[in-house]
């Protein structure tokens, strides 16, 4: 610093009078922003290096050319040492000063550049202060002096220019951020500067750059906050009215130069410039604020509407159909907190933050007033827009990532479930494998229904009730939790591994395996028994409604199930739903109220809707028969008929189901017990159909398994008995037969 001071002074002393140094710039395109990294004023030598290293080769070569010209004029005979010294100093020595350093080594090659053939230095250690003497020593010509003076002027003006710009920049910054650290460096310049009389005083708000005079050296004083202090600076009156200046991309200094204005106008122009900048910043912030306010308003309105209507993000069209919202795209019920509008507290916090950051001395009355004013205008606009913009992006970013993450999260009664994969989908539902608290795996069924359709609401309520009723029954998936809200139903259930339809599909081309059929038939009937024993008709039994949970088949989905008192009782539906392939004829045949002659309704004169369908426990048995049939022959009984014909075929008693003794593969013989069971399940008359208990006791599910030895022994005993007894009565034969059969019971599986 002192070095810098010293050289500055030397230089001015070299000027002779030291006054009214014109502010000039060699390079109008100087990027003063580069200077931001330098703390404190640049050293002259740095500046010299920067001048050459700026990348402007033209500028550098011009400068060197001028040096060389001066050299040539000064010393046409011995051109070597002096300019080379300058050149190397400029290029190489950040510590040295262009005119201050004494160099004895005149053969320094910097950056492999050829040594300059000219010099303004001698080898005797004369420094820049003595340049004029030096010049006189070698050549007293006035032309040389003016040349050297010109160069010095140029450097001085460059330095001055940079310094002013730094001051302007720091002043600009101060206007936005309040006094910053750099202020102290500015102050230290001022304190150390012996040319304090030639000050440029910057006022704190950055808008007033005032000066008494500009001369050889420009120093800055500490920004003055107190209004009384500002009196100390009396700006000279502007030559013109600059209030309508259009700066374009120019800063005040560039403007000054462009319009060839005297440097004394710089403070006035700067004032206008900063005022305009401030106004621009304010407007940008206001725009930003108003748009964020709009968003806030919209969100608030949106939330209000939703809470008032007790609805959620689902959108209905006029025909009352829910817009299908895929859970993949985010559940409407999920509250994405990252998108919640900022509340008043957060805004207040932001204001506080801004106040803290602004770091304005609190004891200053004006500043306090400004603070209040800024707060009342919502002080989001108090900071630099660029800075704010960056901050805004930072806030926005997590929303994206959050959105992605939250798409996998579903909240049911305040418990979060993370989606793992989709297990299956039904008519109006999707079922997901989810991870819940404690990393436990569940099945989450999400059903969209018309919340304004009473029957569907009741239907789903019924399903939940049935699942709850059957809770803890071993053959029904366990319902852990549910949430029914605004057209969406969430069921958190026990998770199965596969459903029966998947199992059947994978075994489709496998050889006929009676054990497999027996096993799954039994599993299926066990499930149906639990349902029927609870007085419930499922009425939509199909392979997809059975899932294997830890090796056990369990029943899911009671969507259209109904509670009925006993096997013989039917219920009457006003809607025909179910899966045609597995539906019993009675569930398909439309009845009108004249046709209804049902035991359970004889005593009632109740009018029934015109189109009704009769379903009862036997309907489930029919469905069961269809599934059995599919396991044996690969497809349900009427699957050969397409579309409408299938329904007609099921309803038509003349369309008989064929029970082949051979499977589709041809080779295998279908066991009689199995054939018999299928026939019993697929009897058209529901009243004649077998029940679940009968199926469970059927010889197919309870076959007699005896050993070869048992058969041999039986035959041997029968022959021996016949040989000994010449006459055996019919009663005796019956008795013996029953005895054998009773013994066989023990061999039933
Ligand atoms: N608890 C569960 N565990 C494993 N998978 C399941 C579970 N619940 C349902 N699934 C799977 O999701 C599919 C559809 O489920 P579900 O049958 O309950 O839906 P739905 O809308 O009632 O279908 P539909 O109305 O057509 O009967 C099932 O076929 C099964 O593959």
The annotation places the binding site at 445
Contact 539, 482 (CB under 8 A): no
Q: Where are the alpha helices (DSSP H) in 534-660?
A: 585-588, 617-633, 643-651
Secondary-structure percent of the chain, ordered helix, strand, coil, rounded to 5: 50, 10, 40
For residue 250, give the nearest of 219, 277, 218, 280 by alpha carbon. Answer: 277
Contact 491, 482 (CB under 8 A): yes
Q: Which atom of ligand 1 is nearest to the CA of 424?
A: 12
- Is pTM beyond 0.80? Reply is no
Query: What is the predicted pLDDT for the residue at 395?
Result: 43
HSE-up of residue 236 (Cα within 13 Å, Cβ side): 13
ipTM, 2 dp: 0.97
Does the Cβ of 428 fall within 6 Å of ligand 1?
Answer: yes
Q: Domain locations in the chain? A: 409-495, 497-596+612-703, 708-747
Does the Cβ of 553 fall within 6 Å of ligand 1?
Answer: no
Catalytic residue from among 35, 172, 540, 557: 540
> What distance in angstroms lies between residue 479's CA and the mean position of ligand 1's atoms?
13
Tokens of 358: 């602004």
199 has which bridge partners? 219
Does the Cβ of 559 fall within 6 Å of ligand 1?
Answer: yes
Query: What is the predicted pLDDT for the residue at 611?
Result: 54
Residues of the chain with pLDDT under 50: 1-138, 173-234, 292-293, 295-365, 367-368, 371-372, 374-405, 563-576, 592-599
Distance CA 491, CA 707 (A): 50
Largest CA distance in the chain: 166
The region, left, alpha or beta by phi > 0 then psi within -120 to 50, assigned to residue 675 is alpha
Give the CA-trace dihedral at 446, 452, 454, 460, to 10 degrees.
10
Query: What is the predicted pLDDT for the residue at 665?
Result: 65
Does the Cβ of 445 fall within 6 Å of ligand 1?
Answer: yes
Question: Which 3-state string (H, E, C) describes 583-597?
Answer: CCHHHHCCECCCCCC
Query: What is the predicted pLDDT for the residue at 326?
Result: 33
What is the residue with the minimal CA distance to atom 27 of ligand 1?
Answer: 426
Does the Cβ of 427 fall within 6 Å of ligand 1?
Answer: yes
Distance CA 281, CA 585 (A): 78
Residue whose tokens read 């306010």: 293
Q: Is 95 helix (H, G, I), strand (E, B) or coil?
A: coil
The annotation places the binding site for ATP at 445
- What is the CATH number assigned to the segment(s) 497-596+612-703? 1.10.510.10
Q: Which atom of ligand 1 is nearest to the CA of 493?
A: 1
> What distance in angstroms lies between residue 320's CA and the mean position of ligand 1's atoms?
26
Does the Cβ of 545 fall within 6 Å of ligand 1?
Answer: yes
Contact 66, 147 (CB under 8 A): yes
> What distance in angstroms lies between residue 544's CA and the mean position of ligand 1's atoms?
7
User: Is-catalytic flag, 481?
Assistant: no
Query: What is the predicted pLDDT for the residue at 278?
Result: 82
Residue whose tokens read 């599919």: 630
669 has which bridge partners? 662
> What distance in angstroms lies between residue 321's CA and the mean position of ligand 1's atoms?
23
Residue whose tokens read 């050293």: 43
Residues 6+ apart with CB under 8 A from 526: 475, 553, 696
- What is the CATH number assigned to the segment(s) 409-495? 3.30.200.20
State the Cα angle at 477 between 701 and 429, rounded to 5°.
115
Residues in the chain: 749
């Amino acid at each position: 610093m002192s070095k810098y001071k010293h050289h500055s002074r030397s230089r001015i002393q070299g000027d002779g009078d030291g006054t009214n140094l014109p502010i000039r710039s060699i390079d109008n395109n100087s990027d003063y922003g580069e200077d931001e990294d330098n703390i404190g004023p640049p050293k002259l030598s740095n500046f010299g290096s920067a001048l050459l290293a700026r990348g402007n080769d033209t500028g550098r070569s011009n400068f060197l050319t001028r040096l060389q010209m001066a050299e040539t004029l000064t010393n046409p005979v011995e051109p070597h040492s002096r300019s080379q010294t300058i050149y190397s100093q400029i290029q190489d020595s950040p510590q040295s000063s262009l005119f201050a350093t004494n160099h004895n080594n005149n053969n320094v090659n910097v950056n492999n550049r050829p040594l300059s053939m000219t010099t303004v230095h001698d080898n005797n250690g004369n420094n820049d202060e003595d340049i004029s003497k030096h010049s006189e020593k070698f050549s007293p010509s006035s032309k040389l002096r003016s040349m050297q003076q010109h160069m010095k002027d140029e450097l001085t003006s460059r330095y001055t220019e940079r310094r002013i710009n730094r001051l302007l920049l720091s002043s600009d910054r101060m206007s936005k951020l309040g006094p910053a650290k750099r202020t102290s460096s500015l102050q230290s310049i001022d304190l150390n500067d012996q040319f304090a009389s030639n000050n440029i005083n910057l006022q704190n708000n950055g808008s007033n750059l005032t000066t008494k005079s500009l001369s050889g050296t420009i120093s800055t004083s500490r920004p003055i906050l107190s209004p009384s202090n500002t009196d100390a600076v009396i700006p000279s009156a502007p030559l013109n009215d600059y209030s309508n200046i259009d700066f374009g991309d120019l800063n005040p200094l560039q403007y000054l130069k462009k319009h060839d204005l005297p440097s004394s106008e710089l403070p006035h122009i700067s004032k206008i410039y900063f005022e305009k900048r401030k106004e621009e910043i304010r407007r940008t912030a206001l725009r930003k604020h108003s748009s964020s306010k709009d968003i806030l308003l919209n969100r608030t309105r949106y939330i209000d509407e939703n809470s008032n209507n007790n609805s959620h993000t689902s959108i209905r069209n006029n025909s009352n159909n829910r817009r299908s919202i895929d859970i993949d795209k985010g559940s409407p019920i999920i509250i994405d907190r990252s998108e919640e509008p900022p509340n008043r507290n957060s805004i207040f916090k932001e204001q506080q933050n801004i106040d803290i950051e602004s770091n304005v001395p609190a004891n200053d009355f004006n500043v306090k007033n400004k603070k209040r004013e800024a707060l009342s205008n919502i002080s989001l606009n108090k900071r630099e827009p660029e800075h704010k913009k960056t901050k805004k992006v930072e806030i926005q970013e997590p929303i994206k990532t959050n959105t992605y993450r939250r798409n996998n999260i579903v909240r049911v009664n305040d418990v979060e479930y993370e989606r793992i994969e989709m297990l299956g989908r039904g008519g109006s539902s999707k079922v997901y494998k989810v991870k819940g608290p404690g990393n436990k795996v569940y099945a989450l069924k999400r059903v969209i229904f018309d919340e304004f359709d009473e029957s569907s609401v009741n239907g789903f309520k019924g399903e939940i009730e049935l699942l709850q009723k059957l809770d803890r029954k071993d053959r029904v998936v366990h319902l852990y939790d549910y949430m029914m809200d605004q057209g969406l139903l969430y069921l958190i259930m026990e998770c199965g591994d596969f459903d029966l339809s998947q199992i059947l599909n994978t075994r489709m081309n496998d050889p006929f395996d009676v054990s497999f059929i027996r096993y799954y038939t039994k599993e299926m009937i066990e499930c149906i028994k639990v349902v029927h024993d609870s007085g419930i008709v499922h009425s939509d039994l199909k392979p997809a409604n059975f899932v294997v949970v830890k090796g056990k088949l369990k029943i899911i989905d009671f969507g259209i199930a109904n509670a009925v008192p006993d096997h013989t009782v039917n219920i009457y539906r006003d809607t025909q739903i179910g899966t045609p392939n597995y539906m019993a004829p009675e569930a398909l045949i439309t009845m009108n109220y004249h046709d209804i002659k049902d035991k359970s309704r004889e005593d009632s004169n109740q009018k029934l809707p015109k189109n009704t369908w009769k379903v009862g426990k036997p309907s489930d048995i029919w469905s069961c028969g269809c599934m059995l049939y599919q396991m044996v022959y690969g497809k349900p009984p009427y699957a050969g008929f397409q579309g409408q014909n299938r329904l007609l075929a099921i309803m038509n008693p003349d369309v008989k189901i064929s029970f082949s003794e051979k499977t589709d593969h041809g080779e295998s013989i279908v066991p009689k017990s199995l054939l018999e069971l299928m026939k019993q399940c697929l009897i058209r008359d529901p009243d004649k159909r077998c029940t679940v208990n009968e199926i469970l006791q059927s010889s197919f599910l309870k076959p007699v398994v005896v050993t070869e030895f048992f058969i041999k022994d039986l035959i041997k005993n029968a022959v021996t008995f016949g040989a000994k007894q010449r006459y055996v009565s019919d009663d005796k034969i019956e008795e013996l037969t029953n005895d054998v059969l009773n013994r066989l019971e023990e061999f039933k599986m």
